[in-house]
Amino acid sequence: MTIQQTADGNIQLKTLLLVDDTPENLTVLGEILMPYYRVRVANSGARALVAAASEPRPDLILLDVMMPEMDGYKVITHLRSNPLTLDIPVIFITALDATEDETKGLELGAADYITKPVRPAIVLTRVRGQIELKEARDRMRDQNAWLEAEIERRMRQNQMIQDVSMRALASLAEARDNETGNHILRTQGYVKVLAEELSKLPQYAEKLTPTIIESYVKAAPLHDIGKVGIPDRALHKPGKHTPEEWELMKTHAKVGSDAIWRAIQDEEDQAGLDFLRIAMDIAHYHHEKWDGTGYPEGLSGENIPLPARLMALADVFDALISKRVYKPAFTVEHTTEIILNGRGRHFDPDVVDAFVARLDDFYAIAARHIDEG
């Protein structure tokens, strides 16, 4: 069709731009096309470029090849280099009949050729064909844009649901330990800060891409999920644990990783579960120590998975600055001193160095998500 209907029901003609330095040629083409289209004209290449980029932008350009100063070939070259005009189809109008001239125009991006003297039926047929092709391309572009926007919206929605679900699961464990959701937010923030700082070092650049860091942050809330399996008599004991109770407390690391493993092992699509495998590592190994004296496996050094090494520092820092049934909250200064003293013993030296570089961020996160009461 050569017309379109606007939202208010009005009929809107498609717009053509006729470009020719000879007034008589513009008159002939105008008489053929004006009954069916809105027609704009330009009598030079320079004016054609201005008109093509201004409103209402043409749906199709009929362009004379042989013009002084700027011929049709130069005009179409400029049209294709301008984002506002690069998608406008162009039909060359020419008296030339040489195959090489036609080939040159097509190579530069012309959609079609019409030779002079023009014949009304040929002009109308070629123009209608190009207009219909452009309408089809525009519909496909709009549909693709809608589909991309819809996919992005649903991915954001799924991401939000996933993140909220992870926090809800993590909150179950925190609630059993008489902790608050702010612990989750703080430790997530600490892990992100540490990972971002480490990523600046050459040896960590490939291990800590933005995507991987995002997975670490998403997995962090599940670090203590295993506490749901610890009996209250040990978990809520206000005083010092007996050796038997302490061994029971330590099982939360494996209980947590086992629970995550059972949840994902039968899923066919494992590609989207990377962050849960990271969560398994964090849950299982975040109480390991750099010198090998931690639990549950007694791993040391770089044998401890990197996300667990980050969580080890984040979790200890937050535990120290927070009030517990068995201790008061430490000051951030005292807590910082304890972390520094644990460099190379409890904590990965690189992670401690990253902590030192971002102390202000740690303090800001702690203040932003401070516990009530």
- The per-residue pLDDT string of the chain (373 residues; one tens digit each, 9 = 90 and over) reads 454 544 454 557 899 999 999 999 999 999 999 999 999 999 999 999 999 999 999 999 999 998 998 999 999 999 999 999 999 999 999 876 656 667 788 888 899 989 888 999 999 999 999 999 989 988 898 888 888 888 888 877 777 766 666 666 666 666 666 555 688 889 999 999 999 999 999 999 999 999 999 999 989 988 988 888 888 888 878 788 899 999 999 999 999 899 888 878 876 665 567 788 899 999 999 999 999 999 999 999 999 999 999 999 999 999 999 887 677 889 999 999 999 999 999 999 999 999 999 999 999 999 998 877 5
CATH number of the domain residue 304 falls in: 1.10.3210.10
* Both structure tokens of 343: 């460099």
Answer yes or no: is 151 within a domain. no
**Cβ-based neighbour number of residue 203 at 10 Å:** 9
Asked if 128 contacts 2 with a C-beta cutoff of 8 angstroms, the reply is yes
Structural domain of 358? 177-368
Do 211 and 274 sit in the same domain of this protein?
yes
d(CA 262, CA 249): 21
Burial class (CB in 10 A: 0-12, 13-18, 19+), 357: middle
Do 127 and 216 sit in the same domain of this protein?
no
Do 183 and 298 sit in the same domain of this protein?
yes
Helix 359-368 vs helix 332-341: crossing angle, to nearest 10: 140
Interstrand relation of 60-64 and 90-94 (parallel, antiparallel or unpaired): parallel
Helix 181-198 vs helix 349-357: crossing angle, to nearest 10: 100
102, 126, 145 — which closes off a domain?
A: 145
Helices (H), 243-321: 243-250, 252-264, 274-285, 306-321
Q: Which residue in the block uniquely carries the two structure tokens 């932008």?
A: 57
Answer yes or no: is 153 within a domain. no
Answer yes or no: is 7 within a domain. yes
Q: Name the pTM for this structure.
A: 0.59
Do 227 and 362 sit in the same domain of this protein?
yes
Answer yes or no: is 28 within a domain. yes
Interstrand relation of 3-5 and 11-13 (parallel, antiparallel or unpaired): antiparallel
Answer yes or no: is 166 within a domain. no
